[in-house]
Structure 1
Amino acid sequence: MTPEPPVETQISLARHASFQRFWGARVLSSISFQMLAVAIGWHIYAITHSAFALGLVGLAQFLPMFALTLVVGHVADRYDRRRIAAVCQALEALAAAVFLAGTLGGWLSAPVIYVLAALVGAMRAFESPSISSLLPSVVPRSELPRATAWSTSAGQAAQILGPAAGGLLYGLGPSAVYLASAVAFIAAATLVWSIPLRTKPAARAPVTLESVFSGIAFIRRQPVILGALSLDLFAVLFGGATALLPIFARDVLQTGPLGLGLLRSAPAVGALAGTIWLAHFPLRNRPGVAMFGGVIAFGVATIVFGLSHSFVLSLVSLAVLGASDVISVVVRLSLVQLRTPDEMLGRVSAVNALFIGTSNQLGEFESGVTAGWWGAVPAVLVGGVATIAVALLWIRLFPALAQTETLEEPKGVRTA
């Protein structure tokens, strides 16, 4: 009979298996969302031929996230984060099924797409902080920087596979994308439901007005975290070009749905390479300087993409954009997870998710509006220049971020 491994080894193996389920759930959920994004973007542009309509999809996803921010953080801190994420993913699968039924039935109009996009946005609002704040319960805090990089790689891998798969499946018809997305969401929900936790959820404290706003108050008292969140928000808000990719794919680069899928995958290719590098060589010294450098490189890559009329150069510039952006993502997530008490992590992660949603979904709306005014190419160029300007301004506004030496908070300076 084979002897049982030592208790420490069993615990380590259990943590490894838990993280594998966590990573797999993130990949599948992100793949589903990315496939939906490709299908929705191409579908709405095919119906309306309007850049403004593309922006409205981002706005429809952002509004419920904004409205629910304070609620979702409290929910993540008071209830089992695994169950919250699984239920949200199941409801996202339901939304994909409605997209499928509407396509097959011929009644999927632009207003229906906006409503379904808002439903998906609401579910992502609950899912995002629950998943983010779940990680410290899966791995020890000492392993969080490396685990955060690998967790980020899950999203980047999905952003490579999801858009490419979405574009390829869209060639068979939008119904194929919606069906595949629903199936992947269900698989993600099954995985996250089965994750065993190292620690139990914290006891449910009474809900007060102070506790509802405590996540925002905590961030305001932490200039390093506030600087990182706001820098990432404004950089992606002004520099995000992904909402306009259907226009570039169809009108500028003269490619089809598969080309659109490849363009949407390109930033994730660069980001995945960056996360793998950061997983093996974590940022330990001067993470703030690395973050500012990444944001400036993000702006430069955005400008190159806006000027490009070559499909290959566009892919390369988007890959560089993704590699630059991942530095900001890993630094921001690591700062939040390492400098926030676990009992507040859900509320702080919810505010973090709002910043991300503002930069992504509201950024898509901003890109759609400016492209409607000036055209797609000028909108991207102005956004890239604005991103660089924001980074230079933030160096002056948040010197603590620029000067921070480590991701972990120095001993003796925690602000409760």
Structure 2
Amino acid sequence: MSAPKNDPYAALRIKEFNIFLLVRFALVFGWSMQFIVIEWQVYSLTKDPLSLGLIGLMEIIPALSMALFAGHIVDQREKRNLLALCIALFSLISFGLFWITSPEVTESWSTQHILYAIYGLVFFGGFLRSFFGPTIFSLVALIVPKRIYPNAATWSSSTWQMASVLGPATAGLFINWFGVHHTLMVVFGLVSLSFLILQKIKRKPILNPKIGEPVFQSLKEGLNFVFKTKAILGAITLDMVAVLFGGAVALLPIYAQDILKVGPEGFGVLRAAPAVGAFLTMLATAYLSISKKAGIKLLAAVFGFGVCIIVFGVSTIFWVSVVALFFSGVTDGVSMVIRQTILQIKTPDHMRGRVSSVNSMFVGSSNELGAFESGITAKWMGTVTAVVFGGTMTLLTVITTGIVSPAFRKLDLTKDLEDHQKD
């Protein structure tokens, strides 16, 4: 039976989409736990802010170098099996980290060798990361009808955020209760579970009419589409710069251990706070449309994000810091929903892999590049100054964009969404 118009649960009425959400939840929950454990372990071993920045650098180098090629491959391949292969390879990384942190290895290897092994596995994960985003983005469009793409994007992003909420908090608690090694065993189990659940989704048709197209011609077509579609280009560029300079979360181990002195449990709460805010915002957008005057709303959201980062940077009170991070997540959630809606409704089916890859280069990889930038500036300026600097640069970016691009300020998605409802 067809879902009613404007039904906030439209996508959830599709069985395979619910299975997809379970896969995404288990995968992101495990991935976010793993990243938190790596951050904690690396800083515990080194006590050096730069070592946290290097985690981001090790992931962004392969993610950026492979992003466009990954998008081409995704558009040429069957999506369900490609995602299964990515998850299987990711499970090897999780098992490798579990093994490296075992007592046998930590007692016989030097700190330097352990760090090299961690960075090496993160580097391998960067290659996989370049495939995950385009594959998931493309698979959603093959599971749900076109008319409910925006609703599916909201629920998919909300599931990602919920897993991002629970993952860091759980990681902080588990590090304290069971230690790093056994927490990574849980991560391996979650990744394996996501692989098993995925098998309940049927293989999907390949909609690309240009199978076998030369790779460089394919990449050029994808880039040209993004740069000619001003709404997409403006949204992802603004978000990229904001995330790049607002990457304060990369320095949370320093705040938890040395500034706020709240230990692993507090670290988990700090790490989860932005995701809680973003998750609640995304749930609200399933009921409340933000398509009208989307451009000015996106500018306001990113400006608010910058203010929250500055407040967090100067705070020495734990709960003030938590609240600041929570509202940074609220504003980031608005930005994410607007950006994902633009991508879903303006991207042709046969180009979803390539467009999503360009988006991951701009936005997804800027998280890791932002982590590296934060580590470098913290090393040079000090931790607090680095965070305040990043928030200030975010504010300047929003102001500049608003002044030089009046067309972006006037961006409105209402008509686009109405046209999709008619399809």
Task: Give the alignment partner of residue 87 of structure 2, picking from 82, 86, 89.
Answer: 89
Instruction: Write out aligned runs for 1:397-408 (5 A).
Output: 397-406=404-413
Distance in 2, Cα, partners of 1:73 & 1:303:
35
Q: CA deviation at 1:15?
A: 5.9
Match of 1:47 in 2: 45
Instruction: Map Cα deviations across residues 26-56 of structure 1 (whole Å, 9 max, x no partner).
Output: 1111111110111100100011111001000
Distance in 2, Cα, partners of 1:411 & 1:99:
48
Matching of residue 316 in structure 1 with residue 323 in structure 2: yes
Task: Give the alignment partner of residue 160 of structure 1, picking from 138, 157, 165.
Answer: 165
Q: CA deviation at 1:332?
A: 0.9
Task: Give the alignment partner of residue 197 of structure 2, picking from 191, 200, 203.
Answer: 191
Contact 2:33 2:187 in 1 (8 A): yes
Matching of residue 131 in structure 1 with residue 129 in structure 2: no
The alpha-carbon distance between structure 1 residues 179 and 399, as it changes in their structure 2 partners (threshold 3 A), is same
Match of 2:67 in 1: 69
Task: Give the alignment partner of residue 279 of structure 2, picking from 266, 272, 277.
Answer: 272
Distance in 2, Cα, partners of 1:55 & 1:62:
11
Distance in 1, Cα, partners of 2:12 & 2:368:
37
Match of 1:331 in 2: 338
Instruction: Map Cα deviations across residues 209-246 of structure 1 (whole Å, 9 max, x no partner).
Output: 22122211111101111000100000010011110000
Task: Give the alignment partner of residue 149 of structure 2, picking from 131, 144, 147.
Answer: 144
The alpha-carbon distance between structure 1 residues 208 and 37, as it changes in their structure 2 partners (threshold 3 A), is closer
Match of 2:397 in 1: 390
Contact 1:267 1:321 in 2 (8 A): yes
Task: Name the aligned partner's letter for residue 240 of structure 2.
Answer: L
Match of 1:291 in 2: 298
Once the two structures are overlaid, the 10-residue window that deviates more, 352-361 or 190-199, is 190-199
Contact 1:167 1:257 in 2 (8 A): yes
Match of 2:7 in 1: none
Consecutive unaligned residues of structure 2, counting only runs of 5 or more, are 4-9
Match of 1:212 in 2: 219
Instruction: Write out aligned runs for 1:187-266 (5 A).
Output: 187-196=193-202, 200-203=206-209, 204-266=211-273
Contact 1:237 1:366 in 2 (8 A): yes
The alpha-carbon distance between structure 1 residues 134 and 398, as it changes in their structure 2 partners (threshold 3 A), is farther
Instruction: Write out aligned runs for 1:369-388 (5 A).
Output: 369-388=376-395
Q: CA deviation at 1:191?
A: 2.5
Contact 2:60 2:369 in 1 (8 A): yes
Once the two structures are overlaid, the 10-residue window that deviates more, 271-280 or 191-200, is 191-200
Matching of residue 113 in structure 1 with residue 118 in structure 2: yes
Q: CA deviation at 1:202?
A: 2.9
Task: Name the aligned partner's letter for residue 149 of structure 2.
Answer: L
Matching of residue 368 in structure 1 with residue 375 in structure 2: yes
State the secondary structure of the residue aligned to 2:237: helix
Distance in 2, Cα, partners of 1:223 & 1:266:
32
Task: Name the aligned partner's letter for residue 22 of structure 2.
Answer: G
Percent identity, aligned pairs only?
35
The alpha-carbon distance between structure 1 residues 411 and 147, as it changes in their structure 2 partners (threshold 3 A), is closer
Instruction: Map Cα deviations across residues 137-190 of structure 1 (whole Å, 9 max, x no partner).
Output: 111121111211111111110111100111111121111221111111111222
Q: CA deviation at 1:25?
A: 1.3
Matching of residue 353 in structure 1 with residue 360 in structure 2: yes
Distance in 2, Cα, partners of 1:33 & 1:14:
24
Instruction: Map Cα deviations across residues 62-112 of structure 1 (whole Å, 9 max, x no partner).
Output: 001111011110111011112222211221111111111111122461111
Distance in 1, Cα, partners of 2:380 & 2:261:
22
Distance in 1, Cα, partners of 2:99 & 2:42:
16
TM, length-normalised to structure 2? 0.91
Contact 2:133 2:357 in 1 (8 A): yes
Matching of residue 282 in structure 1 with residue 289 in structure 2: yes
Matching of residue 181 in structure 1 with residue 187 in structure 2: yes
Match of 1:3 in 2: none
Instruction: Map Cα deviations across residues 263-286 of structure 1 (whole Å, 9 max, x no partner).
Output: 110001101110000011122311
Contact 1:145 1:282 in 2 (8 A): no
Once the two structures are overlaid, the 10-residue window that deviates more, 99-108 or 359-368, is 99-108
Q: CA deviation at 1:196?
A: 3.3
Distance in 1, Cα, partners of 2:11 & 2:171:
35
Q: CA RMSD in A?
A: 2.0
Task: Name the aligned partner's letter for residue 131 of structure 1.
Answer: I
Task: Name the aligned partner's letter for residue 366 of structure 1.
Answer: E
Instruction: Map Cα deviations across residues 339-364 of structure 1 (whole Å, 9 max, x no partner).
Output: 01100111000111111233200000
Match of 2:175 in 1: 170
State the secondary structure of the residue aligned to 1:280: coil
TM, length-normalised to structure 1? 0.93
Q: CA deviation at 1:409?
A: 4.4
Contact 1:38 1:166 in 2 (8 A): yes
Consecutive unaligned residues of structure 1, counting only runs of 5 or more, are 1-5
